[in-house]
């Protein structure tokens, strides 16, 4: 019997997050379907084991969670958004490589009372493909689980410089024989546009 990695994604947790997002955060069509936040980020990632380094470029779209949720959170100046993102990254390894991926299911919780410095936390799940070789990934297709903390420094009411630390675990959930995966720590910087900030 093939041993399974203890770091394989928790499909129960993934299912709960997906169910909450699909049933609780659906938005109607029309103007409200437009994103509330758009961010473009880049930076540097350091992975282990064996230390491949990544330079990602990512685009992120966010939509405000339903008013029933944010009206309660708003009493504490908190805001919950659903997020989705896509990215591509060059990988400095031997040999050099690349990856592309999407995180279609994610959330951001921000403390935003209208101040110029807004801290936030994010979590997301997704998938990627990579041609990275010689590392404990098993193959090209991978799942990704991410979490991070950041801060938006507002230049005006809607535009902010975004700084973020992010952790990512990627592995293949037992699709391939080697499922040890890679853990990556990122430092990210970018521009965030908040289209619906009051």
pLDDT average, residue stretch 68-74: 94
Residue 171 contacts residue 5 (beta carbons within 8 Å): yes
- What domains sit in the chain, N to C, each tagged with a CATH number? 11-24+43-194 (2.40.160.20)
Q: What is the pLDDT of residues 96-144, one digit of tens each?
A: 999 999 999 999 999 999 999 999 999 999 999 999 988 888 899 999 9
Helices (H), 65-176: 67-73
pLDDT at 185: 97
Residue 61 contacts residue 35 (beta carbons within 8 Å): yes
pLDDT average, residue stretch 150-175: 96
Q: What is the pLDDT of residues 2-53, one digit of tens each?
A: 444 444 445 445 554 554 454 444 444 444 578 999 999 999 999 987 788 9
Residue 128: name the closest of 83, 175, 165 by CA. Answer: 175
pLDDT at 51: 84
Whether the predicted pLDDT of 155 surpasses 70: yes
Whether the predicted pLDDT of 83 surpasses 90: yes
Residue 79 contacts residue 98 (beta carbons within 8 Å): no
pLDDT at 3: 45
DSSP annotation string for 144-164: EEEEEEEEEEESSSSEEEEEE
Helices (H), 108-155: none
Which band of pLDDT confidence, cut at 50, 70 and 90, is reported for residue 76?
very high
Residue 165 contacts residue 149 (beta carbons within 8 Å): yes
Residue 62 contacts residue 25 (beta carbons within 8 Å): no
At 144, list the tokens: 């990704």
Q: How far apart are CA 13 and CA 30, in angstroms?
A: 31
Q: Which residue has the tokens 């975004």?
A: 162
Which band of pLDDT confidence, cut at 50, 70 and 90, is reported for residue 81?
very high
Q: How far apart are CA 69 and CA 84, in angstroms?
A: 19
pTM check: above 0.85: no
């Amino acid at each position: 019997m093939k041993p399974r990695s203890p770091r394989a994604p928790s499909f129960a947790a993934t299912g709960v997050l997906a169910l909450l997002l699909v049933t609780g955060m659906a938005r109607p069509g029309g103007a409200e379907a437009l994103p509330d936040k758009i961010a473009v980020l880049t930076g540097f990632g350091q992975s282990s084991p064996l230390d491949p380094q990544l330079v990602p470029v990512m685009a992120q779209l966010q939509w405000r969670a339903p008013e029933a949720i944010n009206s309660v959170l708003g009493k504490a100046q908190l805001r919950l958004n659903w997020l989705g993102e896509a990215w591509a990254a060059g990988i400095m390894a031997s040999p050099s490589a690349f990856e592309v991926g999407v995180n279609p299911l994610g959330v951001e919780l921000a403390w935003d009372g209208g101040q110029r410095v807004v801290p936030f936390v994010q979590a997301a799940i997704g998938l990627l493909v990579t041609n990275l070789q010689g590392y404990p990934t098993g193959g090209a297709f991978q799942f990704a689980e991410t979490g991070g903390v950041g801060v938006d420094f507002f230049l005006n009411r809607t535009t902010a410089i975004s700084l973020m630390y992010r952790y990512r675990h990627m592995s293949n959930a037992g699709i391939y024989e080697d499922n040890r995966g890679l853990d990556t720590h990122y430092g990210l910087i970018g521009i965030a546009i908040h289209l619906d900030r009051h």
